[in-house]
Amino acid sequence: MSGFLLDTHVWYWLLGAVERDLKTQDRDLLEAAARKQTLHLSAMSLWETAQKEASGKLRVSTEELMEQSFSPNSIHVLELSTSILIAANRLPGTIHGDPVDRILVATGRQLDLTLVTHDTELLRYAKQGHLRVHKV
């Protein structure tokens, strides 16, 4: 598999669900990947979104975001596999303990995807050579 894996916050930015926008070249890149069916989102991002919605940190519902995202020629949801869950606890190098980030990293590594993120910790981890990233 190849393509891009969206960090949860980038998914929000792409859909306009939060007060942050993507640069035109980044939006064009991601929209082209969606048309080619190479734009992916971890099921863990759906869990994280539902958690933020339940706590009041996100004003749009998880279902609304899903409706906007998951149609033909759009974003493909990647299920969590046992190998990804195990790999999230065996990552090389130094990475922080956030379980969502660890699962995103393990997913990107196992499926040969480039993680699209603005997260400084994940960008720092990528500099160690263990993950491909596209910084937005």
3-class secondary-structure state, position 20:
coil
**The amino acid at 121:** E
Residue ranges in the chain assigned as alpha helix (H): 8-15, 24-35, 43-55, 62-69, 82-87, 99-111, 120-126
| Residue 98 CB-density burial (10 A; 0-12 exposed, 13-18 middle, 19+ buried) | middle
With the CA atoms of 20, 48, 135 and 106 taken in that order, what torsion angle do they form, in degrees rounded to the nearest 10? -170
In the prediction, which pLDDT does 56 show? 93
Residues in the chain, pLDDT under 70: 71-73
Domains annotated on the chain, with CATH: 4-135 (3.40.50.1010)
35-59 pLDDT, tens digit per residue, is 999 999 999 999 999 999 999 998 8
In the prediction, which pLDDT does 96 show? 93
DSSP state of 57: S
pTM for this one?
A: 0.94
In the prediction, which pLDDT does 72 show? 61
